[in-house]
């Protein structure tokens, strides 16, 4: 009886070791897209009144958990019964990520808003402000859903040859970390300026150590969000390029003498630039069809 109990403990220990190792590999594979998820949500969760930042972030976090609860069972069912669909979804997601990365670069160079033009901020009523807040939360949850699909599918792709139990445990851990980790860091980022103000007001001394740290945090917030946007854009192209390089043999051996991350970035950028006119044309056609119907 005792030997059976210890054998069970040994099996559980081996299982957890396997899960920890596989989770580490899956975490590395999804790190790039997690960076983009962080950048996108830090941007979407900022710009509110200080009293509304945490409630807004909590609403987005709850939506993210709901997204994972919807996506995870579907992903496991596809993996068990239609494994080929995982690769198709992965490649489609790669196209989307490549387009997103290329579109951000295109918008930066060709659709930048001149700094001199400052629009007048319209005063909103409480109802209008709440309505805009709900729209922004909804947009953030939709974006999270798309990114969550990619995170879960990429994580599932790294353990597709493992047992179903290992797949469920590893992918669930990555999904949980994606929500708790990303939104935990976002919460720290969006509250950085408020914490800085508190440090500035902690005493009446001028140019004290707390003042210097507080001013640094206040001034650093917009720069942190901008840098995360840049890092996220690069991550999008690297992740999308990696998806194509690892799932299409020809692309994997395209530039054997060049470091893999450079090859993946180039592939992601090229695919994204090819997708730009296609998506723009499709969007223009859809808009025209909608306008014709409304007339």
Q: Is residue 217 part of a domain?
A: no
Q: Is residue 213 part of a domain?
A: no
Q: Is residue 198 part of a domain?
A: no
For residue 140, what are the domain limits? 17-187+226-294
pLDDT score, position 295: 62
pLDDT in tens, 210-264: 788 888 888 887 787 778 778 778 877 887 888 888 777 777 677 777 788 888 8
Q: Is residue 11 part of a domain?
A: no
Q: Is residue 119 part of a domain?
A: yes
Helix (H, G, I), strand (E, B) or coil at 285: helix
Number of domains in the chain: 1
The gap from C-alpha 31 to its chain's centroid, in whole angstroms, comes to: 9
Q: Quick one: tokens of 100?
A: 């997103």
pLDDT score, position 227: 80
**pTM for the whole structure:** 0.68
Q: Is residue 209 part of a domain?
A: no
Is 267 exposed, middle or buried (CB count within 10 Å of its CB: 0-12, 13-18, 19+)?
A: buried
In the chain, the largest separation of any two C-alpha atoms, in whole Å, equals 79
Helix (H, G, I), strand (E, B) or coil at 46: coil
Q: Output the DSSP codes for 135-196.
A: HHHHHHHHHHHHHHHHHHHHHHHHTTTS-HHHHHHHHHHHHHHHHHHHHHHHHHHHTHHHHH
Contact 211, 192 (CB under 8 A): no
Nearest residue to 150 (alpha-carbon basis) of 20, 36, 24, 25: 36
Which residues of the chain are modeled with pLDDT < 50?
Answer: 1-2, 5-11, 116-122
Q: Quick one: tokens of 20?
A: 């920890």
Q: Is residue 117 part of a domain?
A: yes
Q: Is residue 97 part of a domain?
A: yes
pLDDT score, position 26: 63
């Amino acid at each position: 009886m005792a030997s059976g109990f210890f054998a069970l403990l040994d099996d559980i220990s081996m299982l957890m070791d396997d899960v920890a190792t596989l989770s580490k590999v899956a975490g590395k594979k999804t790190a790039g897209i997690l960076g983009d998820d962080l950048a996108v949500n830090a941007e979407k969760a900022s710009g509110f009144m200080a009293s509304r930042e945490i409630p807004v972030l909590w609403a987005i976090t709850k939506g993210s958990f709901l997204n994972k609860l919807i996506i995870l069972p579907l992903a496991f069912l596809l993996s068990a019964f239609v494994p080929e669909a995982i690769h198709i979804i992965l490649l489609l997601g790669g196209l989307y990520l490549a387009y997103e990365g290329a579109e951000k670069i295109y918008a930066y160079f060709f659709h930048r808003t001149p700094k001199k033009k400052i629009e007048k901020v319209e005063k909103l009523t409480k109802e209008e402000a709440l309505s805009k807040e709900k729209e922004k939360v909804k947009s953030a949850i939709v974006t999270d859903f798309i990114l969550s699909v990619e995170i879960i599918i990429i994580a599932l792709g790294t353990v597709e040859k493992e047992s179903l139990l290992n797949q469920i445990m590893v992918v669930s851990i990555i999904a949980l970390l994606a929500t708790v980790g990303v939104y935990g860091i976002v919460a720290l980022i969006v509250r950085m300026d408020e914490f800085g103000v508190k440090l500035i007001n902690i005493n009446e001394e001028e140019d004290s150590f707390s003042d210097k740290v507080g001013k640094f945090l206040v001034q650093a917030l917009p720069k942190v969000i901008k840098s995360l946007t840049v890092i996220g854009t690069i991550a999008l192209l690297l992740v999308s390029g990696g998806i194509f390089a690892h799932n299409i043999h020809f692309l994997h051996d395209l530039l054997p003498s060049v470091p893999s991350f450079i090859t993946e970035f180039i592939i992601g950028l090229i695919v994204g630039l090819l997708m730009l006119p296609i998506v723009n044309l499709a969007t223009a056609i859809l808009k025209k069809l909608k306008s014709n119907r409304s007339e």
